[in-house]
Homo-oligomer: A and B are copies of this chain.
Amino acid sequence: MSDINHQIILNSRPVGWVTPENFKLVEGTIPEIGDGEILTRNLYMSVDPYMRGRMNDVKSYVPPFKIGKVLEAGVVGEVIKSRNPKFKEGDVVVGNLGWENYSKSNGAELLTVQRGVVPLSYYLGVLGMPGMTAYAGLTYVTNAQPGDVVFVSAAAGAVGSVVGQIAKIMGCEVVGCASSDEKVDYLINELGFDRAFNYKTCGSIAKKIAEICPKGIDVNFENVGGEIMEAVLWNMRDFGRMAMCGMIADYNNKKMAPGPRGMMIIIARRLKLQGFLIYDNPACNAEFIQKATGWLAEGKLKYRETVAEGLENAPAAFIGMLKGENIGKQIVKIA
């Protein structure tokens, strides 16, 4: 074990798009732990769209990252020292830790997971926060029913790819959009989407949706916002439900973008738009992990990762994910 703890700190706040200069790789030391604490050697970390919001100095549902401090992410780590009776050396834990080789924690919000069931990185994706978000939004928020037409934006992403597959398992008709033909092929031929299209090359998104969803949309799982959300809104059926999960199209705007035109349609079609965060439904998470582990084993739930090698590549992986370069879940392998 090296004495150096490589860490990535927030060097400056982005204005508009995130750049590599917003990050800095530094050499820290391996922390000493006190009573009740543990030390983890970090194996995998996650880069997720919501982190873009934390780079701004704005109070929100999670506090902003601080300049000069180590960034945080979902991390899978191995416990290498423990002075906390709940953890022993060799345990594998998942939770919010640093962009670094070694993290100190009191363990309060860490979950211990079993080795050997699925690859450990899955606990950052299909069995982690993105998967739980997909499940909670589709079931608890929209109450999707068999036969419903479900639309998913950013459908090849970490959340969208799980939304679409769970909707298929539930007996829905599933339609999605993504940013490349390769992703569209993945959605239809690997994940079993009924229909999908490349929103960058399709012309009018609203017309494209009307063409491939002639009955309209019952349930929308909103990951993107902006013009895609507007096009979906205009294609919603009476009493449609929209799970508001993310607005990645807006995260790198310097100014707040206007909302969709034609909001009157919310009234005319009696739509329900509901924002949600995964933290609000803790009971739902255990239910999901149990179901999803079964679906993975049966081959009903497919999962793909894009893995960046090495902590030093985490900023590039994060920026690429914001630009939609990954298919499936973007992971960084730290060790």
Q: Which residues of A contact B (CB under 8 A)?
A: 53, 60-61, 225, 229, 244-247, 250, 256-277, 280
Q: Are B275 and A247 touching (Cβ within 8 A)?
A: no
Contact of A263 among B259, B262, B267 (CB under 8 A): B259
A250 to B260, CA, bound (A): 13
Tell me how far the C-beta of A277 lies from the nearest C-beta in chain B, rounded to whole angstroms.
Answer: 6
Given A267-B275, A273-B272, A259 contacting B256 (CB threshold 8 A):
no
Q: Are B275 and A280 touching (Cβ within 8 A)?
A: no
The oligomer's copy count stands at 2
The contact sample of 12 A-B pairs, CB cut-off 8 A, is A53-B264, A225-B263, A244-B267, A245-B267, A247-B263, A257-B261, A258-B259, A259-B260, A266-B275, A270-B280, A272-B275, A273-B274
Contact of A268 among B61, B263, B272, B274 (CB under 8 A): B61
Given A225-B264, A258-B259, A272 contacting B270 (CB threshold 8 A):
no
A259 to B267, CA, bound (A): 13
A256 to B273, CA, bound (A): 20
A259 to B258, CA, bound (A): 6
* CB closest chain-B residue, reference A261: B256
Interface centre among A60, A262, A263, A272 (most CB of B within 10 A): A263
Given A225-B264, A259-B261, A263-B259, A274 contacting B275 (CB threshold 8 A):
no
Q: Are B258 and A267 touching (Cβ within 8 A)?
A: no
* CB closest chain-B residue, reference A269: B275
Chain B residues lying within 8 Å of A271, measured Cβ to Cβ, are 273-275
A233 to B271, CA, bound (A): 17
Given A258-B259, A259-B258, A273-B272, A264 contacting B250 (CB threshold 8 A):
yes
Which 8 pairs, one residue from A and one from B, show the smallest C-beta to C-beta distance?
A259-B259, A258-B258, A256-B261, A267-B275, A266-B275, A273-B273, A259-B263, A272-B274
Tell me how far the C-beta of A193 lies from the nearest C-beta in chain B, rounded to whole angstroms.
Answer: 24
Q: Are A277 and B270 touching (Cβ within 8 A)?
A: yes
Q: Are A266 and B256 touching (Cβ within 8 A)?
A: no
Given A247-B263, A272-B273, 16 extra CB contacts under 8 A: A61-B269, A246-B267, A247-B264, A250-B264, A256-B262, A257-B261, A259-B259, A259-B263, A260-B263, A266-B273, A266-B274, A267-B275, A270-B277, A270-B280, A271-B274, A273-B274
A229 to B259, CA, bound (A): 11
Chain B residues lying within 8 Å of A267, measured Cβ to Cβ, are 244-247, 275-277
Chain B residues lying within 8 Å of A257, measured Cβ to Cβ, are 261
Tell me how far the C-beta of A103 lies from the nearest C-beta in chain B, rounded to whole angstroms.
Answer: 27
Chain B residues lying within 8 Å of A275, measured Cβ to Cβ, are 265-272
Tell me how far the C-beta of A47 lies from the nearest C-beta in chain B, rounded to whole angstroms.
Answer: 19
A74 to B113, CA, bound (A): 64
A257 to B230, CA, bound (A): 12
